[in-house]
Structure 1
């Protein structure tokens, strides 16, 4: 009998080594912020049903790339998991419960489903924090198989990877060493932080400052001195008129990143916030 899934406590996560942060559980913990009645065990059971369907077929295949092809065929062709091209910026694409139910997601949420299924089947699939769209990678005899979960798990060749990276590198084409570095596996902590930063950006664009602050706060639960998250939470606090919290976060941001490109602008906002606070009192 399977034991029920226990979601971690947010306050536990910072103490875990990067890859000891439980990926599925923590992703569902992020979703529970938005869906307080979320039943984590339901989604663990659903994911395990995907695994059970594939187990016999994948066990009979020897080569990892062929195992991966079977997994992708089931997830993307038979079950219909797909990148949400029509509503890419819908926050539901980042919440794993919604991804399981709607079979729609963004690159990173679909990668987490793909990774969890593959790993339970003994296939060592890792995430890649590629610039732009999140990818996945699988070691093969002669290098790496890199796939795009947002587009049905399609394999990507070296030339396409270079072209995808180029706009994010000032127009420079990465050489072999630079590309291999970009394709380093992402830790569980890095995957979760990228998910939360995506959510922060979506909510900030909508001026939903409570959810923007919450998303930045959750980053800080995973990495307590992350400068950008301190800045993001502080700026959201300003919008929510929580002056004390905003000053604390923005002052700490400037201590950690005194030479940041936005340091002057942040100092000006701090001065303005302090002036407003003084006038109020």
Structure 2
């Protein structure tokens, strides 16, 4: 196990409330960037928060604080969504997002949440379908922000329209499914970041990085059915039958997808009849 993997494993053992989100996001980055110095990025984050504090008046109301923070991050510093190369893995690495000021919804949201927290703003990540959001505040006065679009506040009808675009009109709406706007846990945020990287490395055919991302996700949440199945099949393709069997058997135990269970059971039977190879 590398030093970065060991650091990540130790972090994953912590209770969710004890996880420092910025440190954890940098631990994800370190899995794919040997030699990364997290302390330097954390110092940069603290420096940005200190600069933001000079522009966000403590006595201002919530709306004015958000407006000032948005102006600092998106107008002055020019943080923006990377629309030209959305699937560049650097968009998921917190150190790279801070340096390049380019990212995707979830990585930009993590930076926003961390800076807001240092200013005393109640900011939370929201794993909204299709597009990660930031929630400021709780209750009926909460603001839902699209950080990828410069921190624009989204009213309920816009959120409903986004759901309709994904699932069809009348299928889901915020009023009947308020849990869609509940704050995500830190583990959920990290797993979602890793799922982005899993997809990127899968599409690129970078199997070792894909395997690292899958293993990190399963370190955080050991019984994710999709990740167990994908890692098991990847192990099979890499000709590592013992590990493949372990993941696929666990998938059968935790999945509720009858069709996939049937297909995976056939693969298990095939692998079980092969001679074991040691790697």
User: Corresponding residue for 2:249?
Assistant: 251
Aligned to 1:3: none
- Per the TM alignment, residue 260 of structure 1 is displaced from its structure 2 partner at its CA by 4.5
The 2-side partners of 1:141 and 1:64 are apart by: 13
Gaps of 5+ in 2: none
RMSD after superposition? 2.3
When normalised by structure 2's length, the TM-score is 0.90
1:41 is matched with 39
Stretch moving more, 95-104 or 266-275: 266-275
Q: Which residue of 2 aligns with 1:182?
A: 180
Contact 2:134 2:147 in 1 (8 A): yes
Q: Against the structure 1 CA distance between its residues 58 and 215, is the aligned structure 2 distance closer, same or farther, given a 3 Å change threshold? A: same
Q: Could you tell me the TM-score, scaled by structure 1's length? A: 0.90
Q: Unaligned stretches of 5+ in structure 1?
A: 1-6
Contact 2:242 2:276 in 1 (8 A): no
Counterpart position of 2:92: 94
Q: CA deviation at 1:268?
A: 2.7
Deviation of 1:143 (Å)? 2.4
For residues 101 and 14 of structure 1, the distance between their equivalents in structure 2, rounded to whole angstroms, comes to 26
Q: Deviations over 1:59-113 (max 9, x none)?
A: 3442112111111111111111110111111111111111111111110000000
Relative to 1, partners in 2 of residues 1:254 and 1:173: Cα closer, same or farther, differing over 3 Å? Answer: closer
Equivalent of residue 227 in structure 1, options 225, 228, 238: 225
Distance 1:46 1:168, change over 3 A: same
Query: Counterpart in 2 of 1:162?
Result: 160
Deviation at 1:11, TM superposition (A): 2.7
Q: Distance in 2 between matches of 1:58 and 1:139?
A: 16
Structure 1 segments (4+ residues) deviating >4 Å: none
SS in 1 for 2:175: helix
The residue aligned with 2:21 is: 23
Contact 2:55 2:72 in 1 (8 A): no
- Secondary structure at the counterpart of residue 195 of structure 1: helix
Cα distance change of structure 1 residues 154 and 193 upon mapping to structure 2, 3 Å threshold:
same
- Residue equivalent to 1:118: 116
C-alpha distance after superposition, 1:234-258 (max 9, x if no partner): 1221222111101110111101115
Number of residue pairs matched by the alignment: 275
